[in-house]
């Protein structure tokens, strides 16, 4: 009788396993699909932004106005790392705009101090946790406790209307 009970239990467990496989599979993240993400940018007017989630983090995608670009073009003596030498970004973003095309800015919104999410305030960024300020290119101010500029992800333009986020090789 014990043997029979064992056999029945074995079949039951196997059956439950087969039946639940599709549900379990649906819960497992598809990591291979997360290694790049396409984002539409033609829905952003100057001054508008959107938040995109990728690889477990949020990032801002925003279209700057001409006025915002003009501010970034001016000398900024109160920045900790104005040329982003100590900060993380792709090689194409090593200038005052920190973007592939000046008008389109893509940046992770985690503060570089302890990782709180910054908010966008009047074309700048501010961390709610310990008040670190970043300019419109995510460059941290000299007064802030955050050590470096906001991180810029690797991305490519795949058309005039779309960009593709890709995993950085650095």
Q: Which residues bind ligand FES (CB under 6 A)?
A: 111, 113-114, 116, 127, 129-130, 132, 145-146
Token pair, residue 51, equals 């938040």
| Alpha-carbon gap, residue 161 to 114, rounded angstroms | 34
Q: What is the DSSP string of 39-75?
A: EE-TTPPTT-EEEEEETTEEEEEEE--HHHHHHHHS-
Closer by beta carbon to ligand FES, 34 or else 143: 143
Token pair, residue 144, equals 């802030």
Closer by beta carbon to ligand FES, 41 or else 79: 79
Closer by beta carbon to ligand FES, 63 or else 138: 138
Taking the complex as a whole, the smallest distance from the CB of residue 117 to ligand FES amounts, in Å, to: 9
**Closest by Cα among 122, 69, 64, 55 to 134:** 122
Taking the complex as a whole, the smallest distance from the CB of residue 125 to ligand FES amounts, in Å, to: 10
Closer by beta carbon to ligand FES, 127 or else 163: 127
Taking the complex as a whole, the smallest distance from the CB of residue 113 to ligand FES amounts, in Å, to: 3
């Amino acid at each position: 009788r014990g043997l029979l009970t064992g056999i029945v239990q074995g079949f039951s467990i196997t059956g439950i396993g087969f039946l639940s496989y599709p549900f379990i599979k649906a819960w497992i993240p598809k990591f291979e699909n997360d290694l790049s993400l396409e984002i539409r940018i033609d829905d952003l007017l100057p001054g508008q932004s959107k938040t995109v989630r990728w690889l477990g983090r949020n990032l801002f995608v925003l279209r700057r106005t001409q006025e915002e670009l003009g501010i970034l073009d001016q000398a900024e003596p109160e920045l900790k790392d104005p040329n982003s030498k100590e900060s993380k970004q792709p090689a194409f973003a090593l200038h005052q705009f920190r973007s592939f095309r000046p008008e389109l800015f893509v940046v992770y919104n985690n503060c570089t101090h302890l990782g709180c999410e910054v908010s966008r305030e009047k074309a700048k960024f501010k961390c709610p946790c310990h008040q670190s300020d970043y300019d419109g290119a995510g460059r941290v101010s000299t007064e802030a406790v955050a050590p470096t500029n906001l991180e810029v992800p690797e991305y490519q333009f795949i058309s005039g209307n779309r960009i593709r986020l890709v995993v950085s090789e650095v």
